[in-house]
Structures are given as C-alpha cells and as structure tokens.
Amino acid sequence: MKTDLRSLYKDELYSLMAELSGEKYRADQLFMWMHSKLKDGFSEMGNIPKKLKDSLDQAGYGINPSENVLVLRSKLDGTRKYLFRLWDGNIIESVFMQYEHGNTVCVSSQAGCRMGCRFCASTIDGLVRNLEPSEMLSQVYAIARDEAAAGPDSEKAGKNAGLNGDPVSNVVIMGSGEPLDNYDNVIRFIRLLNDKDGLNISQRNITLSTCGIVPGIRRLIEEDLKINLALSLHAPNDEKRKQLMPIANKYGISEILDACVDYYNSNRRRLTIEYSLIKGVNDSDEDAAELSHLLRGMNVLVNLIPVNPVRERDYQSTGQARVRAFQNKLEKNNINVTIRRELGRDIEGACGQLRRRYEARTGSGKDRNNDRGDESSAGTD
C-alpha cells in the first residue's frame, strides 16, 4: 500500500513537491486533478511530468485503487447502492439518494463496525479496519463521476441536480462504521471535501452521525466546524438503549445530550435525533411521551426511521399507523419531527446488508475479478 496523495492537505503536498522536484506549483496541479477533476490515476494527469510521477512512486506515494464491483438501482425511488472493493480486498458500501434539495451521498467511514448496535448489519462481523481519508473521498468522487457521466437526461441520472448544478451537493457520514471511532481520518476527509479547490462542498451540507461517543463530540467542538451533527439515539431511556446499543453501557443519554447541547451552542447547527422505530421495542405511546420529556426545550429535529429489517436480526419495522401515532405524540409536545423516506428497501439499502450478502456469495471479496455482471442493472438483485 502506498501513501495515498488524496489524503494530503495542500500544504503537505507543497512540502512534498519541494522535496521531490523543487516545483511547489505541482502541488496545485496534483490537487486539481485529484479533487476537482476527480482523476484516480497518474495516467490521466496530462501536465504532470513522468519524472515526477516516477519520483512519487519511488518515494512510496500514489493513488490506491478502489474498484466499483456492484451497483444496484432501486426500482422504487432511484436510490443507488454501490459496493467498492478497496486495494486490500475489503468491501465497503455507499449510497446515492435523491432529495428535493439536491443529491446526497452516504459514505462509510470504516470497513465493518465495532459498536455492536443490535439492529445494524454493519456490526455483525465486527470492525475490520478504519478507512483512510482518501478511501472516504473515493466513494464520493466515484459516485460524482458516475452521476456526471450519466447526464441529466439519462434514466440512470438523479432527477434533481445538486446545489449549483453539482452531481453531489450533500454528504452524510452515516454508512458502515462509527465516524468518531475513526476521528482523525474523518476530520481530514471533511476538510478535504470542503476545500475550495476541490468539490467545495459546504460544511453546512455535511452531516456526521454518531452513536454517542462523548469525547469525540467534545473534540468536534474544538475543530470549529460548521457540520451538522446527528445522534443515533433509538431509545428514550438508558435501560432500553443498553438493550439495543452497547455504547450505552459507557455513556448515558444525559451525558451524551449535554455534549450535543454544547456542540449546538458552539456553532448553532441544529441537532438531529435519529430514532429507528422497532416494532414492540421502542415505538409505544409511552416511549414517545418519555422521548418528548427527554428532549423538551432542546433545538432538535427528530428523524423517525422505520427500521430496515435485517436478515440476521429478529427486529421488525413499525407499521405506518404506529409511526404516525408516534409522530403525533411528539408533535403534540412541541417536538419537531420528520419521517425518513424508506429509500432503497428493495436493494437492501440499510447499512451492511448488501456488503455481507455479496461477501457471502463471492467469498471475502479479495483477489477476485470484477463481478458486476447483470447485477449492475436496475434492481436485479
């Protein structure tokens, strides 16, 4: 594995160019090719001399390959689920979603996850490794290239152009993995994504979702970022949360919410509370009343998520009538509520599902040839 140039800040590229060639301006050229033109190989960088490319290679720098091995398109809503194979054979997932406000990419921050949430397929096999900033960027860049190449009139293309006409206007770090468990790499990813000479995606259009790692939330405050924070809560009290999320044994809800309030006070970005509704577990009127009391007076938006059924788990999704009743109970207590659109259900859109099934069918995914085949067509799997 080489040190991926896409993970370097521009000032780090300046220092590297000064060392290897004495031509610092080459850093600007490299940065443009990688982060603006979204090229993922030296062969496509026309004005970078071969001598510099060879010097970079000899010094252990390059662009580590990732392969798009599978794309599934939902027949229901156009959501696209991507599987990428990394340089070491690990498989990760990303999702492209269409909203009225633009096109959103959901990225993974880890291969697997060690948080152990009972309703999430990503955690079943535990954590394999953290993703590098370049590996998170490559998910966004590959999907942006795909969306741009499809064109506005293509059946494959998103119906809504991104903000400023960009193929991708919003990024959510809500895929496989816990972002605050890979803190330094995730922060570097965000800053590179936001760079004015790259995709220049506004920090206000970037959302980080966490299960509630309190030290990580407090570190975020010191970063002085304007990103949105989403808390995966999923229960109205510590007792129920411990049944669903092992992290609750380390950090209580009160401690987590205190950190979230401090984050809000630091940048005035409203907190989103993610609440997966699980039939017979956390969806009663009593649960809604307790959640209302817990969040009373906070500037939050509760996003109700009818849980995506996971084959390896017994949990079932709450029916629409109960979802609406839960919503009404919160709204009567002056809590802002939305219900997340159930995107990609026919292509196993929930985190970790498709990756596990793909790996079960093909083995580990390592050292295999491209296996897209017929499954790259709309909703065939």
Q: Which residues are catalytic?
A: 93, 351
Contacts 24+ apart (CB under 8 A), 120-124: 120/310, 120/350, 120/351, 120/352, 121/310, 121/311, 121/312, 121/313, 121/350, 121/351, 121/352, 121/353, 121/355, 121/356, 122/175, 122/176, 122/177, 122/351, 122/352, 122/355, 123/352, 124/312, 124/352, 124/356
Who contacts 211 (Cβ-Cβ below 8 Å, separation ≥6)? 115, 117, 178, 231, 232, 245, 247
Q: Alpha carbon of 22 to those of 17, 18, 211, 258: distances in Å?
A: 6, 4, 46, 50
Single-letter amino acid, residue 217 = I
Spatial CA neighbour of 172 closest among 272, 302, 36, 304: 272
Minimal CA–CA distance to 229: which of 303, 318, 176, 279? 303
CA nearest to 114, candidates 55, 60, 169, 181: 181
